[in-house]
């Protein structure tokens, strides 16, 4: 048996033993537990003491991280090696948020200078748009950005915008992702073309939905402003040729490179709309928080390393205790899209069935992730978390201080977050009335931000990005590809041709009947 296989077996054995204990009892047995399992990283506090691991389980998890080569692969990752093997690419989003003067290399090629070049061009553009120096076709300043993109070109910026928009909003940002025409129709109906900058965001600039929405926005601009309306179009992409073919000249294209994965791209020009809406300073602070988390991930010993520990707690539940679902519940309305964002980050990155080498994985991979914002969900699905037949671990995310609205409401919010985590773990026995019995022993992590600043949000996103990397390393999968989305795209094009009058193709009876029924 290899060292890694032995470490997996040891982790499974430790988890099986811990499954027989109650988490709450571990606090008495392990006086150092809270201290040992709480780490501070890049202004965040991460408390993993309500997770099911005993000291022995924790040590088995750390031993797995060591045997699984997390440190060595982390160094290769930061060194710009080909960690995305199926696409023969590096994955180097950390280079995008490093301070000026860094020296990152992707597959041996220096990249930091060109990153700084794009950043400088973005900053100049952002400042001009915000100051009103950069004007629209009718001579009016832009007051609105329409951000068109989907998947990684949508979820990160949309989440960041919702989280930070109360801070420094001068320019409103509207997001359109879905190809459903009702999405763009509703957006356009509320916008004034003379004052709207349209930012088309697509790594490949070939994504069907984004191209359809971009064409609709271009037609809308032309309809209102004539051909000069094209001057309101800006692109963020790796595909300069396709941008030019669409009619966006190079001086209005903000580029990035193929070593930036879509779901890791908010730090690149994909974040342009947020930078325009929030101001450059906020965008820089978002970067600074992520860079601080990068630094922590790179240097902290495994036992005190927040992304490593978050990943190991997840693996302990997923692989040690067979729990395939997890809830991420921010007690912060502004973080209400965090779970949506993490659905792509975690499930597209780690929802894989074969290893990097192409063999079936030896261990179950990504959990399903869901959640919205607390306290709302306490009045919806939390019943199942407390008394359902499955154990569903929770990541609580809370913000210690807020300056918005009635102060007491924020205290109520925090009280609920703390109480839910406590209730899940401690439970409440009631032998006389089984329906009132709370079994407890349901694990959670508790991530605390001091304030919901750009810096803290940057750190939080990078925490999860690196957690995903650690898990992918231990599961031996490529966390940076997404081949699973390809088949559906190919079939959609085939069906589209048929719906638009093409001859009927080969389909199963159900698919054929649907096509026949919906054919115009
Ligand atoms: O940015 P784009 O090239 O338009 O891609 C948008 C999205 O679509 C793809 O199908 C992938 O599943 C995502 O990873 C990607 O973020």
Interval 487-499: pLDDT, tens: 999 999 999 999 9
Question: Among this protein's residues, is 435 annotated catalytic?
Answer: no
Closest ligand 1 atom number to CA of residue 263: 16
- The CA distance from 313 to 319, in Å, is 10
Domain shared by 243 and 256, yes or no: yes
Nearest CA to ligand 1 atom 9: 151
Q: What is the pLDDT of residue 1?
A: 79
The answer, yes or no, to whether residue 317 has pLDDT greater than 80, is: yes
- The CA distance from 114 to 117, in Å, is 5
Token couple for 28: 């008495």
Query: Does residue 183 sit within a domain?
Result: yes
Centre of ligand 1 from the C-alpha of residue 262, in Å: 6
What CATH number is attached to the domain comprising 355?
A: 3.40.50.10490
Domain shared by 501 and 372, yes or no: no
Query: Does residue 211 sit within a domain?
Result: yes
Nearest CA to ligand 1 atom 14: 262
Domain shared by 253 and 373, yes or no: no
Domain shared by 152 and 57, yes or no: no
pLDDT in tens, 407-456: 999 999 999 999 999 999 999 999 999 999 999 999 999 999 999 999 99
pLDDT in tens, 71-104: 999 999 999 999 999 999 999 999 999 999 999 9
Query: Does residue 470 sit within a domain?
Result: yes
Domain shared by 477 and 341, yes or no: yes
What is the residue-wise DSSP string for 37-105?
TEEEETTEEEE-TTSS--HHHHHHHHHHHHHTTHHHHHHHHHTT---BTTTTB---HHHHHSPTT---E
* Residue ending a domain, choose from 244, 261, 278: 278
Domain shared by 220 and 121, yes or no: yes
Q: What is the pLDDT of residue 502?
A: 92
Domain shared by 118 and 246, yes or no: yes
* Residue ending a domain, choose from 233, 261, 278: 278
Centre of ligand 1 from the C-alpha of residue 215, in Å: 18
* Best probe residue, ligand 1, of 93, 207, 491 (max atoms within 8 Å of C-beta): 207
Domain shared by 119 and 23, yes or no: no
Nearest CA to ligand 1 atom 10: 485
| 32 SS3 class | coil
User: Which residue of the set 329, 346, 348, 498 is catalytic?
Assistant: 348
Query: Does residue 76 sit within a domain?
Result: no
> Model confidence at 5, in pLDDT bands (50, 70, 90)?
very high
Domain that holds residue 497: 484-519
- The CA distance from 36 to 31, in Å, is 9
Domain shared by 208 and 327, yes or no: no
């Amino acid at each position: 048996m290899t060292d890694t296989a032995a470490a997996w077996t040891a982790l499974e054995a430790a988890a099986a033993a811990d499954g027989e204990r109650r988490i709450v009892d571990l606090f008495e047995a392990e006086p150092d537990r809270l201290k040992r399992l709480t780490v501070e990283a890049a202004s965040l506090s991460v408390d993993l003491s309500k997770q099911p691991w005993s000291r022995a389980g924790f040590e088995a998890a750390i031993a797995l991280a060591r045997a699984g080569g997390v440190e060595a692969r982390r160094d290769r990752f930061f060194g710009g090696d080909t960690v995305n093997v199926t696409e023969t690419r590096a994955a180097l989003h950390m280079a995008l948020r490093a301070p000026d003067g860094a020296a990152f290399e992707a597959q041996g090629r220096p990249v930091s200078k060109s990153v700084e070049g794009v950043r400088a061009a973005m900053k100049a553009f952002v400042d001009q748009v915000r100051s009103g120096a950069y004007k629209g076709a009718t001579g009016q300043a832009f007051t609105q950005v329409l951000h068109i993109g989907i998947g990684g070109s949508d979820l990160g910026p949309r989440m960041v915008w919702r989280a930070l928009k109360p801070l420094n909003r001068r320019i409103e940002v509207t997001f359109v992702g879905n190809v459903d025409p009702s999405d763009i129709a509703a957006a356009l109906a509320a916008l004034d073309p003379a004052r709207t900058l349209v930012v088309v965001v697509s790594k490949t600039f070939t994504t069907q939905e984004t191209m359809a929405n971009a064409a609709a926005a271009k037609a809308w601009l032309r309809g209102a402003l004539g051909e000069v309306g094209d001057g309101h179009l800006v692109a963020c992409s790796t595909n300069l040729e396709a941008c030019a073919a669409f009619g966006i000249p190079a001086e209005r294209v903000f580029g990035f490179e193929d070593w930036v994965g879509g779901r890791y791209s908010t730090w690149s020009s994909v974040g342009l709309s947020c930078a325009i809406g929030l101001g450059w300073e906020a965008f820089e602070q978002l970067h600074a928080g992520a860079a601080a988390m990068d630094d922590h991930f790179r240097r902290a010993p495994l036992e005190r390393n927040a992304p490593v520990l978050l990943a190991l707690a997840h693996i302990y539940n997923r692989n040690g205790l067979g729990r395939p679902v997890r809830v991420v519940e921010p007690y912060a309305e502004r973080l209400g899209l965090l779970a949506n964002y993490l659905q792509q980050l975690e499930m597209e990155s780690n929802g894989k069935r074969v290893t990097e080498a192409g063999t079936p994985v030896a261990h179950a991979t990504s959990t399903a992730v869901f959640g919205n914002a607390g306290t709302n969900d306490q009045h919806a699905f939390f019943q199942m978390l407390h008394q359902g037949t499955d154990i569903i671990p929770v990541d609580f995310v809370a913000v210690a201080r807020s300056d918005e609205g009635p102060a007491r409401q924020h205290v109520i919010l925090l009280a609920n977050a703390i109480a839910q985590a406590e209730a899940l773990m401690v439970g409440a026995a009631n032998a006389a009335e089984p329906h009132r019995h709370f079994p407890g022993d349901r694990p959670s992590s508790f991530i605390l931000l001091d304030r919901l600043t750009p810096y803290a949000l940057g750190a939080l996103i990078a925490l999860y990005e690196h957690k995903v990397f650690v898990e992918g390393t231990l599961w031996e999968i490529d966390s940076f590809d997404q081949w699973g989305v390809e088949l559906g795209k190919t079939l959609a094009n085939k069906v589209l041709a048929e719906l638009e009058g093409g001859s009927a193709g080969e389909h199963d009876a159900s698919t054929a009947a649907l096509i026949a029924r919906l054919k115009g």
